[in-house]
Amino acid sequence: MKTDKEWYFFVEADYENCGAFTNFYCQADGIGEAINQIKPLAFNEGLKNLKFIEAQRVDNLEGFEYPNKLVELSDSVKMMEALNLFKRHPNDECMFNPPEGVIFSTEEGEYEIERIQEQFVAYSKNEDGIFEFELVIDDSNLEHVFNLTIKFLNSIDGFWIWICNHWEELDRQLFINKHFVEAQQILEFLESNSENTIKNGFIDIVIHSKEGETNLTLNEHKKISLHTKSEDIFNSFIGKVIGIGFKQTREMYDIEFGYHHWHYKHGKGFERKEFCEFLIDNKFDELKNDI
């Protein structure tokens, strides 16, 4: 069914022996659906390894008009005719590319995108006795690194999924699975259902351990965090993260704070009602109290 919604995207890609920046316009219900339409059409135009850097809904912008010299790739997808080509160099710093599920808006934020780096912060014990760790990850590394951090936990007692209230503007929901108590079970579930879990920008994924009352979270902004009351777990976790190549910082920038952005589900992912049914089918129980 045709939709009235239309999205603009600023995209980086590989083109022949160069890098390229270009713009796309796509009619689609959501960002994920638009991206799914654009990718194969862009590939046919010689654009590969697309990075969707910024997005904006344009159909509801007052006075919006298409720019000149657009190429119609399909009934719903248009692309700028001229590519902005540039030579890539091995020492070039790559622009941070948010993981699937979240994308920068074209609206200017408080900080420059260049400030976001793959690095972590660690906070000493707060007044509640909790140590906190946060790690920012680029799209190319997210799944691999999150899988590793799950393995860093000594034990697992629960697997939770929070559904955010801005997904279809409904109440926040918590689903708990007590059957997944081994890292490998969770890893297999996430890998088999990545389009509805890792790549869904409307959910928080939480791995719980009773040891130290520890929660490992991949939140809706695709930031990895650890909260624990155990200093030993905290220090061990940090050591392992450093061991896989990440550095600590005092001033961390991430898409969650200081940047206008959009959340979206994968184009092939479930709608919210279907997602809830999917969780129940996989032995998750909804906790309806104290949310």
Q: Which of 92, 127, 151 is the last residue of a domain?
A: 92
* 47 domain residue, yes or no: yes
Q: Is residue 56 part of a domain?
A: yes
pLDDT higher than threshold 60 for residue 242: yes
Are residues 141 and 68 located together in one domain of the fold? no
Indicate whether 122 and 264 sit together in one domain.
yes
User: Do 125 and 268 sit in the same domain of this protein?
Assistant: yes
Residue 215: the pLDDT is 98
Same domain as 270, residue 157: yes
> What's the token pair of residue 71?
């190429």
Tell whether 185 is covered by a domain. yes
- Output the pTM of the full model: 0.93
- Above 90 in pLDDT, residue 2? no
Residue 253 within any structural domain of the chain: yes
Is there a single domain that holds both residue 62 and residue 24?
A: yes
Which of 92, 126, 144 corresponds to the end of one domain? 92
SS (H, E, C) the chain: CCCCCEEEEEEEEEECCEEEEEEEEEECCCHHHHHHHHHHHHHHCCEEEEEEEEEEECCCCCCCCCCCCEEECCCCEEEECCCEEECCCCCCCCCCCCCCCEEEECCCCCCCHHHCCCCEEEECCCCCCCEEEEEECCCCCHHHHHHHHHHHCCCCCEEEEEECCCCCCCCCEEEEECCCCCHHHHHHHHHHCHHHCCCCCCEEEEEEECHHHEEEEECCCCEEEEEECCHHHHHHHHHHHHHCCCCECCCCCCCCCCCCEEECCCCCCCCHHHHHHHHHHCCCEEECCCC
* Same structural domain, 87 and 158: no
pLDDT in tens, 70-118: 999 999 999 999 999 999 887 766 778 999 999 999 999 999 999 999 9
For residue 291, pLDDT over 60 is answered with: no
118 and 86 assigned to the same domain = no
- Tell whether 140 and 281 lie within a shared domain: yes
- Give the pairing of strands 102-105 and 47-57: parallel
In a domain, 30, yes or no: yes
Tell me the C-alpha distance between 279 and 257, whole Å: 30
Q: Which residue has the higher pLDDT, 63 or 218?
A: 218
Q: What is the mean pLDDT of the chain?
A: 95
**Taking residues 186-190, what's their average pLDDT?**
97
My answer on whether 193 and 69 are in the same domain is no
Average pLDDT over residues 286-290: 78
For residue 118, the enclosing domain spans: 114-287
In a domain, 106, yes or no: no
Domain count, the chain: 2
pLDDT of residue 290 exceeding 60: no
Q: What integer pLDDT is reported at residue 3 of this predicted model? A: 84
Identify any residues that bridge with 54 across adjacent strands, giving them in sequence order. 10, 104
User: So what's the pLDDT on residue 4?
Assistant: 87
In a shared domain, residues 163 and 193 = yes
Give the pLDDT confidence score for residue 121 in this predicted structure.
97
Tell me if 81 is assigned to some domain. yes
pLDDT in tens, 129-156: 999 999 999 999 999 999 999 999 999 9
Q: Are 137 and 243 members of one domain?
A: yes
Q: What is the pLDDT of residues 9-58, one digit of tens each?
A: 999 999 999 999 999 999 999 999 999 999 999 999 999 999 999 999 99
pLDDT-based confidence at residue 209 (cuts at 50, 70, 90): very high
